[in-house]
Amino acid sequence: MLSAFDTFARRFLYQMDHLGQENFKPSPVLEKALDVLFLLHADHELNASCTTVLQTGSSLVDPYSAIASVASVTYSHCCAWEY
């Protein structure tokens, strides 16, 4: 059961996974991971440069290639309004 002091991540996981179980408790590992994910999302706002470096970095490239991809996206005129 949820209480008034539960985190947003715990409440979110509860709504996603409880499936009618009365004493369902979300995994603490998933709760912490979701807390960190929400914090990073709120902090970085996922603008064009952040999204580009996240997507490029997730393909396991070297850091220089990830930075080069950011330089190319910020150079284009379609994203000039962000800066």
Dump pLDDT digits (tens) for 30-64: 889 988 888 876 665 667 778 888 889 889 899 89
pLDDT value at residue 15: 83
Domain boundaries, the chain: 8-44, 48-82
0.75 exceeded by pTM: no
Between the CA of residue 68 and those of 18, 52, 56, 64, what are the distances in Å?
44, 10, 10, 6
pLDDT at 76 over 70: no
Mean pLDDT of the chain, nearest integer: 79
SS3 82: helix
